[in-house]
Amino acid sequence: MIGPTPWRVVYKPTDRRREAARVHPCALARAGQRCTPRDLAAPNTMVWDHCHTHGYIRGPVCGYHNGRMRHYDKGNERYTRDPEYIDYARRCSGCAEPW
């Protein structure tokens, strides 16, 4: 289970003051492991994932997991039933339950 988010700030893509996501490990990486690039078009891309409903940052994720969270946010059943994604999505302080 993933703990609460230390990033209780609203996502602003133009905010240059926030530290780069690349300095953090992927929040959805398995314990003790690092995410490896699965897409040659975006190797080692780290981004700040955020809740599209409330705008709060959930955490730093690799490009691969960012794509998975996009599917989760759209309600794709393959991802909305996965406990790992459910726990991670609850990092948004505005979400009582996964949407």
HSE at residue 54, side-chain half, CA atoms within 13 A, is 17
Q: Please name the residues in contact with 8: beta carbons below 8 A apart, sequence gap of 6 or more.
A: 56, 57, 93
Q: How far is it, in rounded angstroms, from Cα 77 to Cα 43?
A: 27
Which tokens sit at 85?
């994604």
CA triple 46-52-53, angle to 5 deg: 150
Which stretch of DSSP H or E encloses residue 48?
strand 46-50
25-37 pLDDT, tens digit each: 888 887 767 776 5
Predicted local distance difference test score (pLDDT) of residue 12: 66
Q: Which residues of the chain have pLDDT under 70?
A: 1-18, 32, 36-44, 96-99
Q: What is the pLDDT of residue 98?
A: 47
Judge whether 85 and 46 are in contact, CB under 8 Å. no
Q: What span, in angstroms and rounded, lies between the C-alpha atoms of 50 and 79?
A: 16
Distances (CA, A) of 71 to 22, 67, 75: 22, 7, 6
